[in-house]
Structures are given as C-alpha cells and as structure tokens.
Amino acid sequence: MQAMNRRSFLGSSVATGGLLGASAAVPAWARGASLQHGGIIRTGFDEVSGRDIRLTVGEGMRVVQGRRGHAVAVNGTIPGPLVRLREGEPVRIHVTNALQEDTSVHWHGLLVPFQFDGVPGVSFPGIRPGETFVYDLPAIRQSGTYWWHSHSGLQEQSGHYGPLVVDPAEPDPIQADRDYVLLLSEFTPLHSHTIMDKLKKGEAYFNMQQRSWTDDYDLTGEERRMWAKMRMMPTDITDVSGSTYTYLANGMGPEEGLEYLFRPGERVRFRVMNGSAMSFFNIRIPGAKLTIVAADGIAVRPVEVDEFQIGTAETYDFLVEPTGEAMAVVAESMDRSGMALAHLVSRPGARAAVPALREPPLLTMAAMGMAGMDHGGMDHGSSATAGTDQSMVDHSAMGHETVPAQTSTPEMMSAAAMGDMNMRDTSLLPPDVHVGPGIDMVSMNPVDRMGDPGIGLDKVPHRVLTYNDLVALEANRYARTPSRQMEIHLTGNMERYMWSFDGKKFSAVTDDPIRFAYNERVRVRLVNDTMMAHPIHLHGHFFELVNGAPAEHQPLKNVVIVQPGGSATFDLTANEEGDWAFHCHLLYHMHSGMFQIVTVAPRGEEAEEPRVGSDR
C-alpha cells in the first residue's frame, strides 16, 4: 500500500468525497439545471492555501436533490473552499464581493485582531459590492478545526460558509491515517428572508411534528392540557426543520451519497463543523465508537462515546476505526425531522444500513426551568439514563418550603400542579433584566445543565458526550480565580419570535456593550429563560467551561450550548482587545436581536499576559 503523508490526506480525501458523490459526477445541466443562469453553483469545495488566498462571493442557482433555490456561493461552490492555514504563518485573504449587497467573512474560532474579525458595523465597515477587502492576518496562533461564514444579513443560510483548518506547526497530538472534513449545513429553496418572515408570523410554521389528536407522543391528557395552558409547545425543538431543510454533508444531500474511503484497520479523523444556520445534529456511526479528541478546534483528552450532539457553529474532532465494508455516518437533526448522511466505505459504492430517524423528542420539565423534577408526570424514558445530571434540586426555590432539599425520592408532581406554577416569575430576574412582552418565561430553577447530552439524547441506551466530559489536553497557562462574576439571561418570546439577552434586543443596547477591563478574568453564567437550546458564541476569544474539570484543564470553547431552562458557566480571560460580537448562533435568533457587543479595553501600558497560542 502506498504510504501517504498525513498532510496530503485532508485535501485528497475531500476531493475523493466530491468525486465519488453521485451528484458531483453529473454536471448541473444534466440534473435539470437551467443553462440560462450562468451561475449554477457547484456542490462541495476546493481548497485554498498559501500566503495569499483569494475568495469571491457570488450568487446563483443551487440545485439539491431536485430542489432549487437562490444561493450565495464563494468561489462558485457550496460550501465555499476549504481555507487551509498553517500555525505560525501569516496570511492575506483577499475577499471580493460580486453580490449586489454588502458581504463579509468571519473566521469562526480564529484568534485575529478585532478589525479582521469580519462583523460589519462592529469590527469593520463590511465589503461593499465590487470591493475587495484584504484580511491581513498576522501569524496564526492556533491550530485545529474551524469554519468561516458571512456575518452580513442572512447570507450564511444561503450558502456563504466553508471549512477552515489550521495545520499545527508541531506534530499534531491527534494522529490518524486519514483526515476528513464533515461540514454540516442545510439547503432550503426558500429565501432566508422568507424564513425569517414565516417565523415572525408564527403558527410554528416549520414544525410538522406538533401535538395533535393523532400523534404518537407519550403524553397524558393532563400533560397536554398543561402545555396548552402554558401556551408552550413540548415539540418546539428546532424553529426551522426538515419540512423545508435538506440537511447537507459537505454540501451533499443524504441521497447524493457522500463517501469517505477507508481501509480496514485504519484510524480515521473526522473534523465535524456545524455550519448550519439553525440546526443541531446528533452524530453517530452505528457500530463504531467515536473518540472525541477536540472541541471547537482545541484538543481535549480523548473521550469515547457512541453519539454526540453538535450545536450550531460548534466543531468537534473525533477518531473512529471503521470496520466491515461500510459504515453510515449519521447526522440526525435534533428534532428528528431529517438527517445529513455520509458513508465510510472500503470500496466505492459500498453501503451499510442507514438507521431510520428516531421518534421526535419532547421537551421536559428541565426545559421549563424545573430541573430535578423531571421524574414524575413528564418522564417517559424507556431506558436508564447514562450519566446525565439528575441532581436533585433545591425544591425550596419552587415554593415547596416544607420539602427538605435532601428528599431522597424525587417528589412526584402532577402535570396539573406544574400547570398551576408561575412560569414567569419575573421577581426571580436580576434588576438589569428588562421585563417586558419579550420575555414569556423565567426559569424557576436554572440549574447547571452542562452535564446534559442535549435534547432527545438523555434517554438513549448508549454513551453520549456531555460538556462535563471535556477536559483540555493542554493546561491553560493563564488560569486563575476570576475576580468577579456576572450573569447574562437568555430571554425570548416564542409566540412573537423575539430573542434577546437580558430582555433587551440589540437595538436597545447599541451604545451599552458588555465591558471588560484588559486581561480581566470573569466568570460568566448564562441563564436560559427560554425553552430552546441556544448556542452562544463569543468572538475573538476562547472561554473555558466551568464543568468540574481542574481549573487548568477546563475545556476551551468559543460556543457554548445553554440547555433550555438551565444554565452554563464559563471563565473568560478578556485579553483580546477591541469590540467583539457576542450572540446566539441560531441565525434567526441573532437576526431577531439576540446579539450584543463585548468590548475589551486596550492593553495600554500593561504587560502582555499569556494568551491562547501566544506561548507557542
């Protein structure tokens, strides 16, 4: 067998995936695309690297599995090209805008000077039609798996995204025989502004799995009435679903047969990037163990799991040793309304059985901010939970003063009793939260839910990754006890489709950013007062999840999912000066106002402290 150096594998395997794909082998015109629109967008991506990289943002028609729609493409493909950088080396990225509107590129997870972070109106003026903007990036301070996307309007939904990989300067701690990119995203024939419009006008437009007289949900009549009384939907798992989305793996629909080659006995690395606008995915390869080795680009101690959920904009690297002739790489949408699909094959065309979509999940008591009470009326799991956080909660917070916190058997509460509780006790909110119609719920008891595997995965009979499993491989040299802590509430109104931080849409706080002193270390607790899981992203920094790992080994992330009704906590060393975007990475939540600016004061005369990557 011909030995191949690992570095060459990434590119060649990506090409393999494209070439083997049924659709890519057939030209667009042969699949029914019109010749009149010159810009038929190709599926899959090329690779760009070197000292100078050129990207052109254009538009055209996209055809996926026979459905077509307007799309934005970079260098003529969706996803856009793999931007491949090298740690320790500077790069100039020239981005040309061939659209009729402004555009931008944000390098998600890359530590860059803020003026090159790519958020129009915050870090730079944006790129006007016809203009070329040069991202003049100094030596890259990190390695790993990232991605890039537009931060202008809703272009990201339309196809303006692509993978980004930084090769390490030193030998990679993660060694594998093959190195593959798996970029997950969505295709929709609808214009992104149409989707926004439908979401605003309501009726749970994209949810075709709602409660009905004829559904199969394991809900008692009492529970159904409780949800109706609250004016909430237990089926509200994702706002936009497979009713319009075709879920994509490297731009290819599940029927288009993306293939990754392997030889028996090989160890394969997958770099999974969730480049979707609105989707969480449950990733599994039935029959294989997945060893998680990196999260959001940064290496973690290996964790072996059977499945993991990846939130919007997160990245995970995992290793797998495929066996047999073929294995299915399944990325099921969190609401089970569809899946992205790829195949690990020992020869082209080999196929393993693809598991059917599992039953749609339902929200639980925990999503209402009643964690720890998820035992009685609402708990319909069929099998034992694997390592989830079943902490018994301080019931006194719920007004049950006679119930001691040490109660060993969880109190059984009827759904009727739940329905009588105040789901919006605004006295529980700190004074800086603006209380108004934009808040339809206040979590009664927002316990830490970083031990939660994600919606729908708390009852599966195998091991699922949680944030509490993540331990940084390398010690954080700047770990120290935070000097202060703060709390940010994630707030919303599903019926009105309003989303915000602390009850204030961005338009209410344009002149009131979240301020940090230079090099200040702050513990930030995010409290989710909604029934949706929000992937919260801070630009320009890595924060460390306060997940029970030793302080110096708290895992570094740039996106943290805050589970419904719960909380998540991170430590932040604010040592990247400038203005940075801080937002929910669900595109339509951000577009609805769930966005803030974080401003880190200039270093000034202070000595430079160690930063991520600065000691390399």
Partner 1 sequence: MRTVLFTLLLTTAAPAFAQDHAGHAEHEPATKSAETDCQKEAERHRAMGHPVPEGQCEPGGPAEMDHKAMDHSQMDHGQMEGMDHDRMDHDRMKEMAPDTPQAMDHGTMDHGAMDHSQMDHSRMQGMDHSQMDHGAMEQPGAAEIPFAPPPPGAGSGPPRAADAIWGADAMRASRDGLPSELGDILYYWVQGDRMEYRAREGEDGYLWDLQGYYGGDLDKFWFKSEGEGSFGEEIESAEVQALYSRAIAPFFDLQAGIRQDFVPMDRTYAVVGIQGLAPYLFEIDAAAFLSDRGDLTARVEAELDQRITQRLILQPRVEASFSAQDVPELGIGAGLDSVEAGLRLRYHFAREFAPYIGVDQEWRIGQSADYARAEGEDPSVTNYVVGIRFWF
Q: 233-252: which residues touch partner 1 (CB under 8 A)?
A: none
Burial degree of 475 (CB within 10 A; 0-12, 13-18, 19+) = exposed
User: Whose Cβ is closer to partner 1: residue 218's or residue 304's?
Assistant: 304
**Residue 467: left (phi > 0), alpha (psi -120 to 50), or beta?**
alpha
Burial degree of 297 (CB within 10 A; 0-12, 13-18, 19+) = buried
Does residue number 289 form part of the binding site for partner 1 (CB under 8 A)?
no
Could you say which of 14, 122, 285, 538 contacts partner 1 (CB under 8 A)?
Answer: 122
Could you say which of 106, 141, 160, 523 contacts partner 1 (CB under 8 A)?
Answer: 523
Could you say which of 489, 553, 557, 585 contacts partner 1 (CB under 8 A)?
Answer: 553
Q: 309-348: which residues touch partner 1 (CB under 8 A)?
A: 319
The encoded tokens of residue 522 equal: 């702050």
Smallest distance from partner 1 to CB 430, Å: 9
Does residue number 291 form part of the binding site for partner 1 (CB under 8 A)?
yes
Q: 85-104: which residues touch partner 1 (CB under 8 A)?
A: 102
Binding string, residues 254-273; x marks residues near partner 1 by CB under 8 A:
---------xxxxx------
Q: Cα separations (Å) of 32 from 40, 148, 229, 418?
A: 11, 30, 49, 54
Does residue number 517 form part of the binding site for partner 1 (CB under 8 A)?
yes
* In contact, 541 and 601? CB cutoff 8 Å: no
Binding string, residues 34-73; x marks residues near partner 1 by CB under 8 A:
----------------------------------------
Could you say which of 37, 94, 191, 225 contacts partner 1 (CB under 8 A)?
Answer: 225
* In contact, 298 and 549? CB cutoff 8 Å: no
Q: 21-40: which residues touch partner 1 (CB under 8 A)?
A: none
Could you say which of 31, 70, 191, 200 contacts partner 1 (CB under 8 A)?
Answer: 200
Q: 397-416: which residues touch partner 1 (CB under 8 A)?
A: 405-406, 408
Alpha-carbon dihedral angle through residues 141, 313, 580, 123, given to the nearest 10 degrees: 90
Smallest distance from partner 1 to CB 36, Å: 28
How far is the C-alpha of 69 from the C-alpha of 63, rounded, in Å? 7
How far is the C-alpha of 551 from the C-alpha of 285, rounded, in Å? 33
How far is the C-alpha of 486 from the C-alpha of 525, rounded, in Å? 6
Q: Which region among 20-28, 46-54, 139-147, 385-393 touches partner 1 (by CB under 8 A)? A: 385-393
SS3 at position 558 = coil
Q: 133-152: which residues touch partner 1 (CB under 8 A)?
A: 152
Does residue number 512 form part of the binding site for partner 1 (CB under 8 A)?
no
Give the total residue count for the chain. 616
Q: 168-197: which residues touch partner 1 (CB under 8 A)?
A: 171, 173-177, 196-197
Vertex 534 angle, CA 528 and 535, to 5°: 130
Could you say which of 330, 559, 591, 612 contacts partner 1 (CB under 8 A)?
Answer: 591
Nearest to 518 by CA among 595, 583, 611: 611
Could you say which of 220, 550, 610, 615 contacts partner 1 (CB under 8 A)?
Answer: 550
b/e 601-613 (16+ beta carbons within 10 angstroms → b): eeeeeeeeeebbb
**Omega before residue 79 within 30° of 0, cis:** yes
Q: What amino acid occupies position 393?
A: V
Q: Which region among 65-73, 81-89, 457-465, 576-584 touches partner 1 (by CB under 8 A)? A: 576-584
Q: What amino acid occupies position 387?
A: G
User: Whose Cβ is closer to partner 1: residue 197's or residue 218's?
Assistant: 197
Smallest distance from partner 1 to CB 553, Å: 6
Could you say which of 372, 377, 454, 564 contacts partner 1 (CB under 8 A)?
Answer: 372
Could you say which of 23, 337, 569, 573 contacts partner 1 (CB under 8 A)?
Answer: 569
The encoded tokens of residue 416 equal: 């009727």
Q: Which value, in Å, is the radius of gyration of the alpha carbons in the chain?
A: 23
Q: Which region among 90-98, 135-143, 436-444, 558-566 touches partner 1 (by CB under 8 A)? A: 436-444
Q: What amino acid occupies position 524?
A: V
Smallest distance from partner 1 to CB 312, Å: 17
Could you say which of 27, 66, 90, 125 contacts partner 1 (CB under 8 A)?
Answer: 125
Could you say which of 437, 461, 608, 610 contacts partner 1 (CB under 8 A)?
Answer: 437
How far is the C-alpha of 123 from the C-alpha of 113, rounded, in Å? 9
Could you say which of 289, 424, 611, 616 contacts partner 1 (CB under 8 A)?
Answer: 424
How far is the C-alpha of 536 from the C-alpha of 343, rounded, in Å? 31
Smallest distance from partner 1 to CB 546, Å: 5
Does residue number 426 form part of the binding site for partner 1 (CB under 8 A)?
no
How far is the C-alpha of 86 from the C-alpha of 284, rounded, in Å? 30
Could you say which of 239, 306, 314, 469 contacts partner 1 (CB under 8 A)?
Answer: 469
Could you say which of 205, 262, 281, 582 contacts partner 1 (CB under 8 A)?
Answer: 205
Could you say which of 440, 458, 502, 529 contacts partner 1 (CB under 8 A)?
Answer: 440
Q: 476-505: which residues touch partner 1 (CB under 8 A)?
A: 481-487, 493, 495-496, 498, 500, 505
Could you say which of 33, 552, 609, 611 contacts partner 1 (CB under 8 A)?
Answer: 552
Vertex 311 angle, CA 313 and 316, to 5°: 75
* DSSP codes of every residue in 444-486: SB--B-TT---TT-SS-SS-B--GGG--BSSPPTT----SEEE
Please work out the total of residues on this chain that contact partner 1, with binding judged by CB under 8 A: 116
Q: Which region among 61-69, 80-88, 134-142, 471-479 touches partner 1 (by CB under 8 A)? A: 471-479
